[in-house]
Structure 1
Amino acid sequence: MSTAQKSIFITGAASGLGREVARYFANVGWFVGLADIDEKGLDATADLLPKGEYSRHKLDVTDRAQWKKAVAEFAKHTNGHMTVLFNNAGIGAGGPIQDMTDEDIDRMIAINLTGVISGTRACFDLLKNTDDACVLYTSSAAGIYGSAGLSVYSATKFAVRGLAEAHDIEWRPYGIKSRSLMPGFIDTNIISNVDAGSNMSGKERLQSAGVEVSPVSIIGPAAWEAIHGEKVHTPVNKMAKQLAFSARWFPNRLRKQLGLLGGLGDVVQTKPQ
Structure 2
Amino acid sequence: MAAKKAIFISGGGSGIGRAIAVKFGGQGWFVGLGDIDSEGMKQTAAQIGNGFTYSHKFDVRDRAAWDVALEAFSTAAGGRIDVLANNAGIPLGGSLSENTTEEIERCIDINLKGVFWGAQAVLPHLKKTAPGSALINTASAAGIYGTGGASVYSATKFGVRGMTESLDAEWSEFGIKVASICPSFIETPLLDHTPNQGSNESIRERVKAAGLELTSAEDVAQAVWDAVHGNKLHWVVGKTARQISFAARWMPGRVRAQSRGMARPLGR
TM over 0.5: yes
DSSP-derived class of the 1:32 partner: strand
Moved >3 Å (runs of 4+): 194-198
Gap change, CA 1:150 and 1:37, over 3 Å in 2: same
Give the structure 1 partner of residue 208 of structure 2: 207
Contact residue 147 and residue 264 of structure 1 kept, 8 A: no
| 1:149-168 map, 5 Å | 149-168=149-168
CA distance, structure 1, for counterparts of residue 74 and residue 265 of structure 2: 39
DSSP-derived class of the 1:35 partner: strand
Give the structure 1 partner of residue 175 of structure 2: 175
CA distance, structure 1, for counterparts of residue 84 and residue 217 of structure 2: 20
Give the structure 2 partner of residue 270 of structure 1: none
Shift of 1:183: 0.3
Unaligned runs of 5+ residues in structure 2 are none
Identity over aligned residues, as a percent? 45
Letter in 1 for 2:189: N
Give the structure 1 partner of residue 232 of structure 2: 231
Give the structure 2 partner of residue 88 of structure 1: 87
1:122 aligns with 2:104: no
CA distance, structure 2, for counterparts of residue 66 and residue 204 of structure 1: 36
TM-score, with normalisation over the residues of structure 2? Answer: 0.92
| 1:234-273 map, 5 Å | 234-259=235-260, 261-263=261-263
Contact residue 112 and residue 160 of structure 2 kept, 8 A: yes
CA distance, structure 1, for counterparts of residue 78 and residue 264 of structure 2: 45
RCO (CA 8 Å, sep 6+): is it higher in 1 or 2? 1
- TM-align CA RMSD: 1.8
Give the structure 2 partner of residue 217 of structure 1: 218
Contact residue 89 and residue 110 of structure 2 kept, 8 A: yes
Letter in 1 for 2:106: R
Give the structure 2 partner of residue 135 of structure 1: 135
Q: Provide Cα deviations, 1:152-195, integer angstroms capped at 9, x if missing partner.
A: 00000000001111111110111101000000011012211369
CA distance, structure 2, for counterparts of residue 142 and residue 264 of structure 1: 17
Give the structure 2 partner of residue 70 of structure 1: 69
CA distance, structure 2, for counterparts of residue 197 and residue 43 of structure 1: 31
Letter in 2 for 1:157: K
Shift of 1:3: 3.0
Unaligned runs of 5+ residues in structure 1 are 267-273
Contact residue 94 and residue 265 of structure 1 kept, 8 A: no
CA distance, structure 1, for counterparts of residue 264 and residue 185 of structure 2: 11
Give the structure 2 partner of residue 111 of structure 1: 110
Contact residue 3 and residue 79 of structure 1 kept, 8 A: no
Gap change, CA 1:96 and 1:209, over 3 Å in 2: closer
Shift of 1:202: 3.3
CA distance, structure 2, for counterparts of residue 177 and residue 194 of structure 1: 36
TM-score, with normalisation over the residues of structure 1? Answer: 0.91
CA distance, structure 1, for counterparts of residue 117 and residue 78 of structure 2: 22
Gap change, CA 1:264 and 1:130, over 3 Å in 2: farther
Q: Provide Cα deviations, 1:112-166, integer angstroms capped at 9, x if missing partner.
A: 1111111111111110000300000000000000011100000000000011111
Give the structure 2 partner of residue 271 of structure 1: none
Q: Provide Cα deviations, 1:193-224, integer angstroms capped at 9, x if missing partner.
A: 369766xx533542343210122221221111
CA distance, structure 2, for counterparts of residue 57 and residue 212 of structure 1: 34
Give the structure 1 partner of residue 148 of structure 2: 148
Shift of 1:65: 1.9
Give the structure 2 partner of residue 3 of structure 1: 2
Contact residue 80 and residue 129 of structure 1 kept, 8 A: no
DSSP-derived class of the 1:48 partner: helix
